[in-house]
Structure 1
Amino acid sequence: MAVGEQGKSRKAVTAAVVGNVLEWYDFAVYAYVAAIIARKFFPAQDEVTALLSTFLAYGLGFLARPLGGIVIGRMGDVSGRKNALLLTMFLMAAGTVMIGLLPTYESIGFLAPLLLVVARLLQGFSAGGEWGGSTAFIVEWAPKDQRGYYGSFQQTSVVAGLLLGSGVAALMNTVLTAPQMESWGWRIPFLIGGILGPIGLYMRRTIEETPAYRAVSEGTPTPPSPDAAVSPWLLAGRAFGFTIVWTVCFYVLLNYMPTWTQRYMSLTPSQALWANTIGLLALMVAIPVMGRLSDRVGRKPLLIACCLCFIVVPYPVFSYLLSANVSLGSLIAVQVLFAIMIAMFSGAGPAAIAEIFPTRNRSTWMTTGYALAVAIFGGFAPFISVWLISTLGSPIAHTYYLVAAAVVSTVVIWQLRETAFEDLQ
């Protein structure tokens, strides 16, 4: 890649990454104040049922992701990656502000949880198009021998958004009293997201289309695809199976973790959120390292290693966390361990999943396969975790879900060919 193109590449990827941070801050902050939302929007129920209802509303937002993935993904292939990313930024900001301004159940009754679901559906529709659109955009701008490294910044920005959300929620719980947080403080993280939205929109207006997309649009010959005769439905199916462990470990060990540690380790909200924030920081640092490593050793070694770790590690580690006299420092060490495990997949994953598809339909089919897996297995991961723990009567029953997801993805990834050293289709 020429020097001028490298400059454009860095500028375009930076704009995409910053926008992605703001997108995922908006989408994730809901989970970090879930306990308060449960009391505000589902008050006439016992604690477990209210929490289940809150995470059900959280999961319903993911049901809109496949639709958003199909609609906005198709828009990215037909009208360009840039236009698709502008639309996702606008929709996410709108849904986030809506949650921050919603009246509670006490004020408007059943309309409150109904409008909460509508706002989550709007966010979910946006997120469905954002992940695939930003992944395609970043990987297509990357030099051939750095697709893993460049692509890892897509996941780094996702984690940075989660980190920002966790950090803001932790800060609110630290500087505000419990009654203040309960009364009005829970709204602040959502309103901050609405303020940041225009910043992301401005930055994305300045980016150019990717060289790969321009080449396909202009009819420039591209490298022949080994999968040229493979149905796009089958390719999307591969992306679906590829994503299962990725999304389950992400939403169980990052989004649900603060709720679990508060409930079963008797930590304060502030302690649980700060431990989660440190784990997210470790993950954000580790992802680019793993992405760069995948450019050297290939994608599959890291992806398979991650899956095997999630088959073996979760049960004994969560059993340890429930043992007597486990300190906050021990919890932080565990969250850093999980972060390194997730980073093996999140570093290599964006490039690996993008490399499954040809440029002409990458946005549509990659986003569809990914978003379906996230909607089914990731969005309801906190709900399924709470349900498993309640049904089986064990605080570590949610680890069975992690193990099952890892087994399925191991089978799928084992059958993929290594694409790290090939030209982008």
Structure 2
Amino acid sequence: MSSGITGPGFAPPSKSAVRRIVFSSSIGNALEWYDFLVYGFFAPVIAKLFFPVHDQWISLLLAVGSFGVSFLTRPFGAIVLGLYADRRGRRASLTVSILLMVLATLMIAVMPTYSSIGLAAPILVLLARLVQGFAVGGEFGSATAFMVEHSPNRRGYFASWQFASQGLAAISASAIGALLNAWLSHDQIAAWGWRLPFALGLLVGPVGYYIRRHLDETPEFLLQKKQLAPARAPVFDSQLANLLVAVGIVAQSTVMVYVLQLYMPTYAVKELGLSTAKSFGVVVLNGGLQFLLSPLMGALSDRIGRIRIMLTTSILMAVTIYPMFHWLRDHPTIGWLMALMALSGIFKASYSGPMPALMSEIFPTRARSTGLSLAYSLGVTVFGGFAPFIVTWFIGVTGDKLAPSYYVLAAAVISSISLAVVGLAMRRRAPASALAV
């Protein structure tokens, strides 16, 4: 496991450069998660408009299933755009990914419904989701590599903005969802209101594209580019072990998003009988904590170590998640839902804030973007993409409303084991001065 090039020899970026680096690298991630959360939040409406069947449960399964289908193309996007970033530059890959994301979002925003064009409607929605999945497959790795390679001594702080931007996306998506459900009638939302969040998401695309087109390439990549490029993608030979443990590390982070953020409004309404607007509102709290605390936890990891923070958080999540859901099932109120979402927001920030920097230190510069993109895409595909589908199916079959807690618990155990493996490997193979471990 390698940390790449360390601080000496790299001048720290100016404050204005820091703002450009953080914004340009985070905007694509924020747009990605905003669109994903909006699609998940409005899944019941989308199910009726694009996947109409007589059984509402099956219709909802088809809608959340189409949400998960986009994750099948993530690994392909990770390989293609990751290799492109490792050979042509982080900036070039980031520019391509945001263009594809905007295209996919536009397709969904203007898509005619099943009643207008029949079977072509769900097929085109699936196509848009596949394009978006391909685009975001390379986004995480390229954006994370871009941030950490600009400031090797502050990797935790810089890379934490990846997940701070997810928190901002959760705030925006859930706030818009709450406002639309409070202001518009059900018929208005079904007729045209559900399109508004996607249209609003399109506004940030051109800004992100313009800024990315005018960025400088990272110092580490430019230095690495002078060396002879390997004939094969290095992530598929010497980096295979690193890839596997990185996928395990992603498990808890992605499950906390897809189960404890995206799925919770649907769970609160369908299983707990709570109001739609209030259920969206509590996600704002969760996203707000993630937005505020992720940079703090990332910066703290630069001081005391990433493994220490993340492993502690993972263990705490494993111990507390079942009792929290058990209590919420027996006391289905907005107050207790808010308490669960607040605690999960703190856990999410504590775990995910340091995570991108730790993953970037697992892979060397020559394979960093490909390794990060592929590990993240595989982790999200395996553990996150079909999480709402699996949980919805399990509750429908068994009637057990504690199903979300089982899924989160399993992910926490997997991530704890992966973190322990990485910690031991880094102690044995890497100089302590080169890693924040």
Give the TM-score of the pair, scaled to structure 2: 0.90
Residue of structure 2 in register with 1:377 after alignment? 383
CA deviations on 1:168-195 (whole Å, 9 max, x unpaired) are 2222222212211111100111112223
* Cα deviation digits, residues 33-57 of structure 1 (max 9, x gap): 1110011111213121111111100
SS at match of 1:84: helix
**Offset, 1:424:** 7.3
CA distance in 1, matches of 2:25, 2:47: 33
Match of 2:5 in 1: none
Unaligned runs of 5+ in 1: 221-226
Residues 12-411 of structure 1 mapped to structure 2, 5 A cutoff: 12-144=21-153, 146-219=154-227, 231-324=238-331, 326-411=332-417
TM-superposition CA deviations, 1:240-283 (whole Å, max 9, x none) = 11111221122110111111011122122211111111211111
Distance 2:151 2:12 in 1: 13
| Contact 2:164–2:294 (CA under 8 A) maintained in structure 1 | yes
Task: Note the C-alpha offset of 1:423.
Answer: 3.4
Q: Is the 1:275–1:332 contact (alpha carbons within 8 Å) kept by the matching residues of 2?
A: yes
How far apart are the structure 2 equivalents of 1:253 and 1:99? 25
Query: 1:266 aligns to what SS in structure 2?
Result: coil
Summarize deviations over 1:330-377 as a string: whole Å, max 9, x none: 321221101011111111101001110000110112211221111111
Task: State the distance in 2 between where 1:341 and 1:280 align.
Answer: 12
Contact 2:163–2:290, Cα closer than 8 Å, also in 1 = no
Measured in 2, the distance between the counterparts of 1:4 and 1:372 equals 32
Matches of 2:413 and 2:251, distance apart in 1: 10
1:355 is paired with a residue whose SS is helix
Offset, 1:109: 1.8
Q: Distance in 2 between matches of 1:78 and 1:390?
A: 47
Name the SS of the counterpart of 2:434 in structure 1. coil
1:267 to 1:323, Cα distance in 2 relative to 1, 3 A = same
The separation in 2 between residues aligned to 1:262 and 1:203, in whole angstroms, is: 40
**Deviation of 1:233 (Å):** 1.5
Cα deviation, 1:130-188, whole Å, max 9, x if unaligned, reads: 111111111111241x2111111111112212322222222222221221111110011
User: Given that residues 305 and 344 in structure 1 are in contact (C-alpha distance below 8 angstroms), is that contact kept between their aligned partners in structure 2?
Assistant: no
Q: Give the Cα–Cα distance (whole angstroms) in 2 for the partners of residues 138 and 45 of structure 1.
A: 49
Q: Give the match for residue 223 of structure 1.
A: none
| Contact map agreement 1:236 1:369 (CA 8 A) in 2 | yes
Contact 2:28 2:139 in 1 (8 A): no
Which residue identity does 1:172 align to in structure 2? L
Please give the alpha-carbon distance, in whole angstroms, between the structure 2 residues aligned to 1:3 and 1:252. 38
The alignment covers a number of residue pairs equal to 417
Q: Distance in 1 between matches of 2:379 and 2:243?
A: 10
Q: CA deviation at 1:420?
A: 10
Change (3 A) 1:203 1:390: same
What's the secondary structure of 2:202's corresponding residue? Answer: helix
Gaps of 5+ in 2: 1-9, 229-233
Q: Distance in 1 between matches of 2:364 and 2:380?
A: 22
Q: Secondary structure at the match of 1:398?
A: helix
The answer to whether the 8 A contact 1:140-1:210 is kept is: yes
